[in-house]
Amino acid sequence: MADEATRKAVSEIPLLKTNAGPRDKELWVQRLKEEYLALIKYVENNKNADNDWFRLESNKEGTRWFGKCWLIHDLLKYEFDMEFDIPVTYPATAPEVAIPELDGKTAKMYRGGKICLTDHFKPLWARNVPKFGLAHLMALGLGPWLAVEIPELIAKGLIQHKEHQSS
């Protein structure tokens, strides 16, 4: 499924141990600590590999996440706002990442700008509950989606670099 670079990056993300979601009170706090440690490690590894491509933060409860993701294409940086909520059945159910400004521009997206991860990512997530977390969602879900979809949207003229947009 994934290329060698992706496999290596994912193998360096710490696996999570706590099987807890937002309804699990104290256990959720422990799960959030694990999530943050895994995300920090993944971002550090990406920076060391000159592959920094997203920023992510959450509300105080860790149930709503938002940030920016970007892709460099033909030496131009395309940047997008992203967001997702943690499902009440997390980690059994993976979050659905949305990039609202791309809503309606590709068939590989649901209403509200939620990216389609059904065919490839969700079965992988299901086999790895509770070990996979948000860093894995970024590495195996959003990252590959951006790498495939954004160049195609650029080629079709559906998105333009900010410098080339007319005011």
Question: How much of the chain is helix, strand and coil, in % rounded to 5?
Answer: 40, 20, 40
The residues facing 85 across adjacent strands are 64
Which pair of structure tokens corresponds to residue 28? 């959720």
Clarify whether 116 is annotated catalytic.
yes
Of 40, 60, 8, 45, the residue nearest 134 (C-alpha): 40
Q: Which residues contact 18 (CB under 8 A, 6 or more apart)?
A: 27, 30, 31, 34, 130
Of 26, 41, 21, the residue nearest 93 (C-alpha): 21
Catalytic residue (choose from 2, 43, 116, 129): 116
The residues facing 76 across adjacent strands are 73
Q: Which residues are catalytic?
A: 116
